[in-house]
Amino acid sequence: MKSFLFLILSLFTLTANAQQNYYEFGWNNQYGIVDKDGNETLPPSYQWVSYLIDNESPFIVLNGNKGAVITNKQTGKMEKIDYLIDTYLISIDKKDYMYAHSSGNGFLLNNLDLDSRIKLPKKYIKVRDEGDYLTGFTSKKTIDFISKKDFEIKKKILAPKEIQSYPTEQGNRVYIISEKNSTLFLDDNLNKIASTNTIFKEFDNLKKYLEKLNISITDPNESMVGVAASANYPFIFPKRNGDYAIYNIHYSKEESIPFFQFKRTGFSISNSRYENSVTLRNNHDNMYLFFYTDVRSKTILLPKKYWKSIDLQLISP
């Protein structure tokens, strides 16, 4: 029985470890990719990590001024994208997407499975989520209303100052096109409901106007409650020793072993018990360094050529 349980636990551990073989790391304010053995597979060349990617996604996305790169966490396969907007998500059928374009084609990437994509009619500067439609902003200063059902263009208008949409208590949706000196209202089928020379800066004034048209919109402000994830053993945690920060692996409240150390002088240091990661910042030199650790294999997931700058060393048991 004990042998059987050991086999099950071993298989579980192997499966868990197989889930991720590649990680991002940060060096000198740019990000690259490292494998599970600490070997650099992509040098630091991107300005930020796309954190809108679903936590369960098997992909890492690095982004920057010259485009983005998608890396499969398991296989290490990489794909470069010319342009990716990762500051907001687009919701379609209870799934979240990001807009991107590459080789002249515009498309949406599912933020969980980045191989799952929706082709759009053309390349856009940006694409926004507006109820039952996507609004695609073109280089000719026009906007396409694209149906979320068949992804075909249903209406074209000159780019307004602002587009908003609100659900109604009747179960429909109203689209508000705000120009410099006027406001246009459209229904679900993008047909004109009304227009006015009034500019609505406050939600309450907009709501009162629509109530005169027998349209009741709901307040978009909703409270959100987040639950912080707690760390499970084992995790890393530091302590000071002169000019050095020493990180131990904690297996329980009572049991811990030394893991690594580095010179902390001049750096502000933070670490995540949940991710077992370390972040160092030096505002004087504008220096930034970030890396994960694998506490099970006792591996620092930072290429060794960067260790010398902070005198990073593994500590022998």
Mean pLDDT calculated for residue range 300-316: 95
SS (H, E, C) 18-47: HCCCEEEEEECCEEEEEECCCCEEEEEEEC
The pTM of this model reads: 0.81
Mean pLDDT calculated for residue range 78-100: 95
* Residue 240 pLDDT greater than 80, yes or no: yes
pLDDT score for 220: 60
Q: Which two tokens stand for residue 2?
A: 């004990």
The full DSSP string for 233-288 is SSEEEEEEETTEEEEEEESSSS-EEEEEEEE-TT-EEEEETTTTEEEEEETTTTEE
* Residue 56 pLDDT greater than 60, yes or no: yes
Residue-wise pLDDT for 254-282, tens only, equals 999 999 999 998 899 999 999 999 999 98
